[in-house]
Amino acid sequence: MSATRLDGKKIALKIRAEVAQSVQKFVEDGNAAPKLAAVLVGDDPASQVYVRNKERACEKAGIASRLDRMPASTTPAELLARIDELNSDQSVNGILVQLPLPQIEGDGPALDEREVLDAIDPLKDVDAFSPINVGLLMQGRPRFLPCTPHGIVQMLHRCDIETAGKHVVVVGRSEIVGKPMAMMLAQKDSTCGPQTANATVTIAHSRTSNLKEVCLSADILIAAVGRPEMIRGDMIRPGAVVVDVGINRVGDRLVGDVAFDEAAETASAITPVPGGVGPLTIAMLLHNTLLAAKLQSGQ
Ligand code: NDP
């Protein structure tokens, strides 16, 4: 392996310590500790692990948390009523609904993710999925930044990886990762994170016909596809930086969207899976929860 391993875990710990310090100061200034409410519908094992990890991370940062478990049989009206309640609860600063929502059993109405996310008060939308927050990001004046792309921006910055003038290829165009990632890196100036902008960005997806060539043209390649190890070593330009967002379970192993060993032969720097982007996502959720508390207290 010749590539530098970008240690997301270490950077995430540093960011979490910074957030914890800011939370402490916020409380010392006379404010209540920020509070995050997580809503978990159904009993998907991976979602349970994610929510538990988020709760633990909150606790370590001095952020209060509340977990609302709802059964898989929850109706849209029940879920929307719970969100309404959390929207009006003054003690709750941030609300996240763990995705994916379960498919409804039987003939009842299905839970519509978009409708549910749209119902969250934009000032409490710590995942930054609401149309208002997405719109503000598009316009280059973001309020909250979506956690995974923001974590990547922070990592690039803290590892001194310049993006201005670079060709960034983002493989994947989801609302959660690919699309906001591309938008953040293409912004004029660093409105979306410290000195991380002004890139020339290409978005690739399942209908991209020449994916290998597109990937080979990337100075920075960001894979957010959800297909185990589909980005092979021969798709990477020598010296490129590779960011692997994918988390795929293969047997009892977690693998990324990039074939790590092959890619590390060619890349100059690469994130591992696990221990790369994943921990940064949680760190930025804590950051957003504190930001939400500050916004709600008029700061
Ligand atoms: P989605 O399934 O929502 O989106 C996947 C994207 O990949 C789509 O845009 C799709 O294209 C594209 N795609 C699928 N197949 C191909 C292909 N063969 N060639 C090119 N593009 C393709 O996934 P997410 O963005 O939500 O997640 C992506 C991965 O990142 C998953 O493994 C997920 O678990 C992980 N993840 C990790 C996080 C972390 O914290 N590390 C956070 C969030 C996600 P099209 O639009 O045409 O269908």
CATH of residue 195's domain is 3.40.50.720
Q: Is residue 104 located within the same domain as residue 161?
A: no
Confidence (pLDDT) at 104: 66
- Local confidence band at 125 (pLDDT 50, 70, 90 cut-offs): very high
Q: Which residues are marked as active site?
A: 54, 98, 127
| Co-location of 239 and 193 in the same domain | yes
- The verdict on residue 188 lying in a domain is yes
Report the domain count for the chain: 2
Q: Does residue 99 sit in the same domain as residue 186?
A: no
Strand residues in the chain grouped as ranges (E): 4-5, 35-41, 64-70, 94-97, 167-171, 200-204, 220-223, 241-244, 248-250, 253-255, 269-270
pLDDT band at 5, cuts 50/70/90?
A: very high
Ligand 1, pocket-test mutation among 9, 145, 225, most atoms within 8 A of CB: 225
Question: Which residue, by CA, sits nearest to atom 40 of ligand 1?
Answer: 278
Residue 127 within any structural domain of the chain? no
Calculate what percentage of the chain has a pLDDT beyond 90: 93
Look at residue 59 and tell me whether its pLDDT is greater than 80: yes
* Ligand 1 atom 24, closest CA: 174
pLDDT digits (tens, 9 = 90+) for 130-168: 999 999 999 999 999 999 999 999 999 999 999 999 999
Residues 166 and 110 in one domain: no
- pLDDT tens for residues 184-231? 999 998 887 777 899 999 999 999 999 999 999 999 999 999 999 999
Ligand 1: which residue has its CA nearest to atom 31? Answer: 226
* Assigned domain for 259 exists: yes
Task: Give residue 57's domain range.
Answer: 33-122
User: Does one domain contain both 167 and 270?
Assistant: yes
Do residue 114 and residue 237 come from a single domain? no
pLDDT at 195: 76
110 CB contacts (<8 Å, ≥6 apart)? 76, 103, 104
Whether 239 and 151 map to the same domain: the answer is: yes
Q: What is the pTM of this model?
A: 0.96
Same-domain status, 114 and 151: no
Domain for residue 292, yes or no? Answer: no
Do 175 and 256 sit in the same domain of this protein? yes
Please check whether residues 173 and 266 belong to one and the same domain. yes
